[in-house]
Structure 1
Amino acid sequence: MATLTEAVRSTPAGTTRRRAARTRTDSSRAPATYYWMVWPAVIAFAAFHTLPVVVGIFFSFTNYAGYGAWNFVGLSNYLNLFRDDRVLQAYGFSFLFAIVATILTNAFSLAIALGLNAKIKARNFWRGVYFVPYILAILVIGYVFQFFFSNSLPKILSGIPLFRDNILTNETWAWTAIVALAVWQACAFAIIIYLSGLQTIPAELYEASSLDGASPWRQFRSITFPLIGAFFTINVVLSLKGFLQVFDPIVALTNGGPGTSTESVTLLIFRGGFSGGEFAYQTANAVVFFIVITVVSLFQFRVLQRREADF
């Protein structure tokens, strides 16, 4: 009997059963190890993110000023937001800024990525050069741009009425300077995303289309853009979401001025919530803004991914 048992164990089927048993044992141990590794991160995330969010939502239904006593006021903070001209202006500016900056960022980034993906000299060097703005501190670069717009540009373009004076003090056009700074930095990350997409396109497609007489524009319209549709979706969604939350470029260039003409929603929340005695009111504004960004992002994904399917 012992000999028969040993013979069975020595067969391939017996070896397979032993390996399956070890696999089941290993898989039963994996969840315990997994939880020991994940739970500290989950607890830290809940303590420093989820809990403050819940507390903030709770205070959005009160009249808490950030200090002292408070009382429940129900939905009055949320209702007052829609009657506040300053809040509505901030939302209008944020969306105008985000849409213009998103279009310019993706147009410039895609054009530069196409150039870098072509057979040019020192391609890797130029990739590094274009990525530098993304790793620089935006506030530091913002103050450099502030000096450029307020001192250098009026001297260089003194013959043009718009730039003869400091454009940052122009209530109508100051936002364009913020767009220039934001796009200049955002292009760095978008270029890398587009380059990743362009490198996934087989060169044979371009060779075959060239033999068929396709022009460069036709190649871009029928081959390049459809095949990088997923990367375009990522860039557009991330760009619009990031630009809607613009804060640092505004602080560095105009600090929301002149007046409140360049005051974004995030800057308004920061000012009113931390120094204006409107903690609960601006917390309600932050909750509404979170919902708006979530809805806009989901809508973008739905529309752009459907467009990818059509390609």
Structure 2
Amino acid sequence: MNPRMITFYLMVIPAALLFFAFHTLPALKGIYYSFTNWNGIALDYDFVGFKNYINLFKDQAILDSYGFTFKFAVVGAILINLFSLVLAVGLNAKIKGKNFFRAVYFLPNILSVLIVGFIFNFFFTSILPDIGEKYGIGFLTQNILGNADLAWIGILLVFLWQSCAFNIILYLSGLQTVPTELYEASSLDGANRWQQFWKVTFPVIAPFFTINMVLSMKNSMMVFDQIVAMTNGGPGYSTTSIALLIYNGGFSGGEFAYQSANAVIYFIVIMAISVFQLKVLQKREMNM
């Protein structure tokens, strides 16, 4: 074996072992425990087969959390890509100080999600109601995080603010790949700005749209930190996502095996949705 291959293995093997120890092995153990009745504390447990998986589909709390998560994910993924694409197109235009605005828009991505969530919690519960009372603005006097029907909107706004940053960067990278000659040719053909975007820009950046849609849908379905910091799943269970339910039930609710089964189903659902998105959107790319 030549020295280059030895160096290669010396660099790769430690990383592979760490990945296996802290990612693959815990995942395999979680699958193993999903077929037991272990509560996460006791030393003994029994195998129960697919009982946990069957009970998941009978548990109303599980079904409600899936309903909330899907609603949040669909709305979040659409709005993230809509706002990100609009802002990216604007930042790609010839405007003064666009590098400054790029830095400003990317800033939320490097901030701690939990800290931002706690800040916005205070903003929605104290600052906005005070402003509403001071200036007589009725709808601002209500704390939306305390309203079971509106709390998810407050979480969504914070999630959008932080999530758009990364997507904007990806769209900006895609816009840099559009040849200026295509815009010049379309202008000579009499195309307006909208026609240029839909017929020239969007087909070229379609692969970036695909990856952004898949990532934003996946991240929206895994929403956790913002909910913990802002509502902790409340009021009641109105903003309890699947990830939060797995965490609460598995680590403090004595349902380790049961929520492990939920996590396995959750993984399969996210993977299936991601594969479906890739196939549909990549097929659309080829038809453009």
Normalising TM by the smaller chain, what interval?
A: over 0.9
Q: Which residue of 2 aligns with 1:302?
A: 279
Report the RMSD for the aligned CA atoms in angstroms.
1.3
Q: Which residue of 1 aligns with 2:246?
A: 269
CA distance, structure 1, for counterparts of residue 195 and residue 239 of structure 2: 40
Q: Which residue of 2 aligns with 1:239?
A: 216
Alignment of 1:196-207 (within 5 A): 196-207=173-184
CA distance, structure 1, for counterparts of residue 40 and residue 53 of structure 2: 17
Shift of 1:31: 3.0
Task: Please list every run of 5 or more consecutive structure 1 residues that lacks an aligned counterpart in the other structure.
Answer: 1-26
Q: Which residue of 2 aligns with 1:104?
A: 79
Correspondence 1:48 to 2:25:
no
Q: 1:57 aligns with which of 31, 44, 54?
A: 31
Q: Which residue of 2 aligns with 1:228?
A: 205
Letter paired with 1:245: M
- Larger-gyration structure (1/2): 1
Shift of 1:157: 4.3
- CA-to-partner distance for each residue in 1:51-74, whole Å, 9 max, x for gaps? 111111111100000111210001
Correspondence 1:138 to 2:113:
yes
Letter paired with 1:127: R
Task: Please list every run of 5 or more consecutive structure 2 residues that lacks an aligned counterpart in the other structure.
Answer: none
- CA-to-partner distance for each residue in 1:87-124, whole Å, 9 max, x for gaps? 01001111100111111111111010001000000111
CA distance, structure 2, for counterparts of residue 147 and residue 55 of structure 1: 39
Shift of 1:161: 5.0
Shift of 1:163: 3.4
CA distance, structure 2, for counterparts of residue 251 and residue 215 of structure 1: 46
Q: Which residue of 1 aligns with 2:125?
A: 150
SS in 2 for 1:172: coil
CA distance, structure 2, for counterparts of residue 150 and residue 305 of structure 1: 43
Correspondence 1:282 to 2:259:
yes
Higher mean displacement: 92-101 or 140-149: 140-149
Identical pairs, percent:
58
CA distance, structure 2, for counterparts of residue 161 and residue 92 of structure 1: 31
CA distance, structure 2, for counterparts of residue 32 and residue 143 of structure 1: 49
Letter paired with 1:101: G
Letter paired with 1:240: M
Q: 1:248 aligns with which of 225, 231, 234?
A: 225
The number of residues matched between the two structures is 285
Q: Which residue of 2 aligns with 1:115?
A: 90
Shift of 1:33: 2.8
Shift of 1:160: 5.6
Q: Which residue of 1 aligns with 2:103?
A: 128
SS in 1 for 2:183: helix
Letter paired with 2:68: F
Letter paired with 1:269: I
Alignment of 1:168-247 (within 5 A): 168-247=145-224
Alignment of 1:21-40 (within 5 A): 28-40=2-14
Letter paired with 2:190: G
Structure 2 length-normalised TM: 0.96
